[in-house]
Structure 1
Amino acid sequence: MYKNYNMNQLILPLDLEVKLQKNDIAFHIHHLVESIPREAFAPFYQETGCPSYHPKMMLKIILCGYTQSVFSGRRIEDLTKDSIRMKWLAQGYEPSYRTINRFRIHPQMQELLRQCFVQFRCQLVEEKLIDQQAIFIDGTKIEANANKFTFKWKKSIEKFQTNLIEKSNRLYEQLLEEQVIPAIARENEEELSVQELEIIVSKVEEVVDDYTAKIETSNDTQERKQLRSQRKTPKQIVKQIHDWITRKKVYQQDLELMGERNSYSKTDRDATFMRMKDDYMKNGQLKPGYNLQVATENQYTLAYDVYPNPTDTKTLTPFLETITDQYFELPKYIVADAGYGSEVNYQNVLETHERIPLITYNMYRKEGKKKFQQDPSKTNNWPYNEKTDSYTCPNEKQLTYQYDASRKDRSGYIRTFKVYQCEDCSDCPIRSLCTKAAEGAHRKLYVNTKWEQQKSYIRQKLSEPKTAEIYRQRKIDVEPVFGFLKANLGFTRFSVRGKSKVKNEIGLALMATNLRKYAIREW
């Protein structure tokens, strides 16, 4: 006996919601999008032309596609025709892949995603899934949708630009010396600008035109031959200067595009070449990518942003500002790994945001080891006399305070140091272990008082039971998010180009990981 099966019998359509399981992820997507304020969807409204699909429906089906590890517009379109949950979310509509792709790169999509994260966090707070005591910050690099072999490097461009400046200056001096052209008013004596090169080439072209006119009016074969020979060099100079002008404009444009970066990709100019963990060729090949920064709690992503710089140190300050301005008020504790430990970051968290940084620094773990603490060559272990403001080296010599010094890094931050100098380093038996200074020079010790105070503060905070427990939570809070994103969701490479589009796509992917984790909590 079989259950009734008849392909020729008409069956009335049922509400697809009935076919979905009680805790299906489609319901969570629906409730989240419906909780977003109506004002966030207003920019998508258009009064003219064919009525557009409702932005709520478009956001729902795209989020649903991402939760199923489907990132292609064509495949999301296919799901609206095949998947029950997608049919229910779309309510029978089947937008084309072009419509889907246009929607997810819409200029207002970034604000819509921001509202999505804000509402999701409110939902987590209401259900007491997060306690708002701390946020855990970390970063990962994701490969850009760009060619791996079409790149521009800042050092190469600066080298080529320097050579061009030297050649153009040398040629200008030669033209003045040979009285080919008169002197021109220069804004910068060290470098000829594009406008000045154009003036020079116009004057050399006048010389070429003068030779051409003489050749045309002369009937003497030998004279014409001699004039053509004399015209050859100015014509070559004109061609050379035109080439320099073109290259100079390209170099200026490249350096302007790079800004503080060291490289960029020709196919995605916002992407920077970085060293990725997924090194398939095992040769340290750099790939174009973006540095994704996330702030999490209880393994839920609460805020995110993308940056072009490959290291995490310089991302903390702008990321905290982004969180404060766009997402939520910072909690009491800011937790991150040693990649974020720097003087400027500690100062920003403590003084600007007035929060407690639970952020280690590079030497934190090594300084806590017995071997380091018993090593006499480490200046951290040298005795300090507060009364005389001096240090004592392992050879029992005094390093007394001499003067203050300062250093400015690439970002413009100024660090202040107290400089101490040894009274006498001659005939020291451990000189080779202590200093690399030349013979006759005495050991100098540079002490950054502010940095030492910050490190002492961090060591004290991480030694307290409560804060130490919070810091230990970091590895099992923020790290799994990247595992969910790359391994479970399968999001390892962007499919769009440009920072704004990339930010939209990673926002959809991170919200998809949030919804998947949220949906399975009751299973």
Structure 2
Amino acid sequence: MNQTQQKEYSRKAAQYQQLALPITQNIEIAEDEPVFVANAQLEELDYRKLYKAYSPKGRKSAAEPRIMFKLLVYGYMCGIYSTRKLEQACRKNIDFIWLLQGERVPDHTSFARFRSGKAKDAIEDLFYQFVRRLWEEEEIEYEEVFIDGTRMESMANRYTFVWRKSVTRQLAKVKEKARELFYQYGGEGNLTVGKLQALAKSLVPEGGEMVHGTGRRKPFWQRQYEEIDRLVVRWKKYERQLFEMGCHRNSLSKTDKDATFMRMKEDHMGNGQLKPAYNVQLAVNSEYITGVAAFSNCTDSGTLIPFLNHIQRMQGRSYRDIVADAGYESVGNYLYLASRGQNCYIKPTNYQTRKTRKYCEQLWRAENMRYLEDEDCFVCAAGRKLRFYRSCSQESNGVVTTYNYYQCDQCTGCPVRKQCTKSQNPDFRKEVKICEEFAQHRAQAHENLLTERGVLLRMNRSIQVEGAFGVLKSDRQFKRFLMRGKTNISLELFLLCLAFDLDKYCSKLRQDRRKTHLFRSKKSRYL
């Protein structure tokens, strides 16, 4: 019986299994395909700033920076964030091969170097170039902007964090121990790190040699020197950590010093998971992301002013209506928007609770007391007057606010005392603190939200900006940054948001919804 030999089998199989395409074969991509639309839009951008980020000296890149940028953006459109998977897609995926335009396939290290943060300013400029292009095509308008934030986990290890309170306490202990040794070994004057180091050097005798290792072989002066040196090292380390935290941060990660520890989603036990993360802020207009920034600040209220300033600086124009949720309410933000002539649609923190019966029955609240303007006093539920007796001013982040204090003349024998206060002091007198600027602007914001346009903007905020976060974190599964440092994660955000805008542009083009800006409520559709 004749048997097929290995050589014959391999030769015959190769004739049928090897598929050869002619090198001159053109790849046809339909004009309505996302890769075609994205390539056409990205071709209109100015890449001079990107090319300046690359030196003409040295080894030439596998592909041009312009093509590398397109590949990364389209990879983010497809949900591909790994550089190794991007390299694999460039070898096997027909869309990526078409984007390469005959260039060599970049390896994963080339993509990693491109995304390392050196071209952060250039990619940020390309993102805002596309935003301006959307405005030229009337895809967006500078009427309203929807702002919201989310906490996105850092790549840092959650077990490598330090807290300001702990660092401050340890630094105080180090200083106390150093002060004790400083005066014990003959130091004079006020204690400083420089004087402590000089004292340690003075303990070393002329010609003295350090003995390495442990045990009794070390001379007494070396043990003194090493004890002071350890204190100096710890002193400098704690001061450096406090400096890196700055004035507004309460924690620091050793592996990602820009990240702040925030309380993330609750675990199965109902406890909030504490992880290193960034506060990512998005500005959405006409369903497109028109502004993005990452902050180490945990609170949204502290990010609104710098975020709006950044958007105006990059876009060259400001929005008329600012729409945000209750987390952005503060007297500083109210005064900032009023000074710029922008309409405030910030939801007050008591917007929902003030509608409840429990809130209305809380007699101790100033909102539930009657105010007599001619006498400048409040009247409580028992009919007693709380008169103005002092005022003070406070400055925070350059904003000066004034607080007025009103106090009751006599609370003894009040029939509603138990409902008004828990104090057992018989001489207690009810006091309320009022910030006039905050109360006025909160009332105006509440009035704006109750108008027909306010209801429409409030509905669109929940659809557009919260929908954008839902797409990025749930649909695209981008829940954690791939790189460390604020510069690197900002570059990731620009690529991610540009990919989102291109995908939204393709979707509107496919659904024939171009130049639409707001979703209309169901009631207005049937009017």
TM-score normalised according to structure 2 size: 0.85
Query: Retained in 1: the 8 A contact 2:149–2:300?
Result: yes
Q: Please show how residues 198-217 of structure 1 align to structure 2 within 5 Å.
A: 198-203=197-202, 205=203, 209=205
Query: Retained in 1: the 8 A contact 2:265–2:273?
Result: no
CA distance, structure 2, for counterparts of residue 509 and residue 168 of structure 1: 50
Against the structure 1 CA distance between its residues 446 and 8, is the aligned structure 2 distance closer, same or farther, given a 3 Å change threshold?
Answer: closer
The match for 2:109 is: 98
SS of 2:236's partner is helix
CA distance, structure 1, for counterparts of residue 19 and residue 372 of structure 2: 97
The match for 2:119 is: 108
Q: Please show how residues 6-21 of structure 1 align to structure 2 within 5 Å.
A: 11-13=21-23, 16-18=26-28, 20-21=29-30
Against the structure 1 CA distance between its residues 50 and 163, is the aligned structure 2 distance closer, same or farther, given a 3 Å change threshold?
Answer: closer
Against the structure 1 CA distance between its residues 380 and 273, is the aligned structure 2 distance closer, same or farther, given a 3 Å change threshold?
Answer: same
- The structural deviation recorded for 1:377 is 2.9
* 1:141 alignment partner, one of 147, 151, 155: 151
CA distance, structure 2, for counterparts of residue 436 and residue 244 of structure 1: 49
The match for 2:335 is: 347
Against the structure 1 CA distance between its residues 151 and 281, is the aligned structure 2 distance closer, same or farther, given a 3 Å change threshold?
Answer: farther
CA distance, structure 2, for counterparts of residue 323 and residue 49 of structure 1: 36
The match for 2:49 is: 40
The AA in structure 1 aligned to 2:80 is V
The AA in structure 1 aligned to 2:409 is E
* 1:472 alignment partner, one of 452, 456, 459: 459
* 1:261 alignment partner, one of 249, 255, 269: 249
Query: Retained in 2: the 8 A contact 1:424–1:442?
Result: yes
The AA in structure 2 aligned to 1:145 is M
The AA in structure 2 aligned to 1:118 is Q
The match for 1:124 is: 134
The two structures, once aligned, show a CA RMSD in angstroms of 2.6
Name stretches of at least 5 consecutive residues in structure 2 with no aligned partner: 1-14, 209-215, 512-527
CA distance, structure 2, for counterparts of residue 160 and residue 193 of structure 1: 17
The AA in structure 1 aligned to 2:311 is I
* 2:236 alignment partner, one of 243, 249, 253: 249
The AA in structure 1 aligned to 2:172 is T
Query: Retained in 1: the 8 A contact 2:345–2:445?
Result: yes
CA distance, structure 1, for counterparts of residue 23 and residue 488 of structure 2: 39
After superposition, give the CA deviation of every residue in 1:208-246 in whole Å (9 maximum; x if it has no partner): x59x9xxxxxxxxxxxxxxx9xx96x7655443222111
The AA in structure 2 aligned to 1:393 is C
- The structural deviation recorded for 1:466 is 1.8
The match for 1:58 is: 68
Against the structure 1 CA distance between its residues 278 and 430, is the aligned structure 2 distance closer, same or farther, given a 3 Å change threshold?
Answer: closer
**Percent identity of equivalent pairs:** 30
The AA in structure 2 aligned to 1:104 is R
CA distance, structure 2, for counterparts of residue 515 and residue 279 of structure 1: 35
Query: Retained in 1: the 8 A contact 2:120–2:487?
Result: no
CA distance, structure 1, for counterparts of residue 245 and residue 361 of structure 2: 46
Residues 1:185 and 2:189 are matched in the alignment = yes
Against the structure 1 CA distance between its residues 8 and 238, is the aligned structure 2 distance closer, same or farther, given a 3 Å change threshold?
Answer: closer
CA distance, structure 1, for counterparts of residue 328 and residue 433 of structure 2: 22
- The structural deviation recorded for 1:296 is 0.4
Against the structure 1 CA distance between its residues 430 and 281, is the aligned structure 2 distance closer, same or farther, given a 3 Å change threshold?
Answer: closer
After superposition, give the CA deviation of every residue in 1:341-360 in whole Å (9 maximum; x if it has no partner): 11011111121x32111001
Residues 1:428 and 2:432 are matched in the alignment = no
Name stretches of at least 5 consecutive residues in structure 1 with no aligned partner: 187-191, 213-227
SS of 2:401's partner is strand
Q: Please show how residues 361-376 of structure 1 align to structure 2 within 5 Å.
A: 361-376=348-363
- The structural deviation recorded for 1:406 is 3.0
- The structural deviation recorded for 1:258 is 1.1
Against the structure 1 CA distance between its residues 412 and 128, is the aligned structure 2 distance closer, same or farther, given a 3 Å change threshold?
Answer: closer
- The structural deviation recorded for 1:371 is 4.3
SS of 1:476's partner is helix
Query: Retained in 1: the 8 A contact 2:324–2:345?
Result: yes
Total equivalences in the alignment: 483
Query: Retained in 2: the 8 A contact 1:418–1:446?
Result: yes
CA distance, structure 2, for counterparts of residue 412 and residue 239 of structure 1: 46
